[in-house]
Amino acid sequence: MRLTPPKILSLGFAGLIVIGTLLLWLPAASTEGRLSLVDALFMATSATCVTGLAVVDTGTSLTLFGQIVLLVLFQFGGLGFVTMATLITLILNKRISLKERLLLQESMNQNSMQGIVRLIRRVLLYSLVIQGMGTALFTLRFLQDMGAAKAFYFGLFHSVSIFNNAGFDLFGDVHGPFSGLVHYVEDPIVNLTSMALIFLGGIGFIVLSDIVDYPRRRRLSLHSKVVLSASLILVVAGAAMLMWLEANNTMKPLHAGGKIMASFLQSITPRSGGVTTLNVAELRESSQFLLILFMFIGAAPGSTGGGIKITTFALLMAAVYARLRGREDVALFRNRLPKENVYRAITITLLSLLLVVSATMVLCITESADFLSVLFEAVSAFGTSGITLGLTPELSLPGKLLVIVLMFMGRTGPLTLAYAIKPRRSRELYRYPEGDVTIG
């Protein structure tokens, strides 16, 4: 079988999941004897696909060994196993082959191989620096609540988890199972550090590289302009809507600064962050549906997040705007976009929508929960967001298996999987005559 880059990427993630499952299945990984094989598979998939959904509480049900296994899995899953393999190759001072460069190009969603190794070096450097700063800030804050060794470990775990958009936390060991960051809803250090880590991990390494180079080059690429502008619009608009909807509900006890921080964190985190400072199950249904929309959109290409990607959403909005204005070309920032990109955006969105709708219908049959909770779970798994209304620990065996598939497809991408399993493309020897169908 000829292994193309999409096939290798899909098989690589599957291999990581298998290894993680076997390690988490060991008695040494659980404080309660041994996880079931399905629960171990669920947790390994959630960590590798940087989702954050958990059927057992990470802080109380997993030992230090189990937590470290998760930490390694979401570090590899967030940065990409190809990127981590390249790091090992660079450390060993070996040459990066053409096939490996093609893999890197596919994993980073690049259009060419030019400068791909230099980009990978930057990815690794930026990740190390950002996660190191996050670790330092979290450690300083957690020193107020626990000993130095535990504070450092908590700082490291949560910095890596949040930057990679994994969403796992250990606070079940401090504040009770599945408590999350609710106790830090008005803490400026935890909120601002978490928001910065989620945002930097979600905009993608291509954009980070552009931002670092901006003082020297004095310009940003079209991709970076689209990602940054669309991200800022969604974050600000989402925060404003959440503050308006929740002002007299979950945010009522908070002071003004706490409401602002809670609004912005809950606006940023659905696009793959996975950590929340408000109890999502207590939000108004309108707020929960807003989070569903944000989870479906997801983060940027080449980032640690999932979803259909924010550039896909921006391209679709630009195409709708162009059609409403009667324009033939789709343009962003005075740049005409190829029709191939528009077709790709439509394909990704429709495949993703079909996947989420089908999964929601099946979960409605297998689970005893209301429709919104089921839809929320399906979109969260696909968007690798890791937020739940409380359904994850209560999933049935078929429900767990379906969510595992959703998390895997959400991380690798519906289109990548479609390319991975499709037969070898043959040259078309003929074309059909053009026809006309009435639309609208």
pLDDT in tens, the chain (440 residues): 566 656 666 777 788 899 999 999 999 999 888 899 999 999 999 998 888 889 999 989 999 999 999 999 988 887 765 455 555 555 545 555 555 555 555 555 555 555 556 667 777 788 889 999 999 999 999 999 889 999 999 999 999 999 888 889 898 888 878 888 888 999 999 999 999 999 888 887 778 888 888 888 888 888 889 999 999 999 999 999 999 999 899 899 999 999 999 999 999 998 777 888 999 999 999 999 999 999 999 888 777 777 888 989 999 999 999 989 888 888 888 889 888 888 888 888 998 899 999 999 999 999 989 999 999 999 999 988 889 898 998 999 999 999 999 988 887 776 565 555 555 555 667 777 877 776 66
Q: What is the pLDDT of residue 173?
A: 83
Q: What are phi and psi of 268, to 5 degrees?
A: -80, -40
What is the full DSSP assignment across 22-65? HHHHSGGGBTTS---HHHHHHHHHHHHTT----SS-HHHHB-HH
Classify residue 435: in a domain, yes or no: no
Classify residue 388: in a domain, yes or no: yes
Classify residue 350: in a domain, yes or no: yes
Query: For residue 365, what are its two tokens?
Result: 């049959």
How are beta strands 331-332 and 335-336 bridged, if at all? antiparallel
Around 83, how many Cα atoms within 13 Å sit in the side-chain half-sphere?
Answer: 26
Classify residue 430: in a domain, yes or no: no
What's the rounded Cα separation, in Å, for the pair 56 and 35?
9
What is the full DSSP assignment across 269-290? TTTTT---SS-GGGS-HHHHHH
Classify residue 93: in a domain, yes or no: yes
| Predicted model pTM | 0.86
Classify residue 75: in a domain, yes or no: yes
Classify residue 425: in a domain, yes or no: no
What's the rounded Cα separation, in Å, for the pair 34 and 106?
37
What's the rounded Cα separation, in Å, for the pair 244 and 239?
9
Number of domains in the chain: 1
Q: Residue 9 in contact with residue 417, Cβ under 8 Å? A: no
What's the rounded Cα separation, in Å, for the pair 289 and 267?
12
Classify residue 272: in a domain, yes or no: yes
Structural domain of residue 219, as residue ranges?
5-420
Q: Which residues pair with 30 in a beta bridge?
A: 62
Q: Which residues pair with 336 in a beta bridge?
A: 331
Query: For residue 430, what are its two tokens?
Result: 């003929």
Q: What is the pLDDT of residue 243?
A: 93
Q: Residue 276 in contact with residue 265, Cβ under 8 Å? A: yes
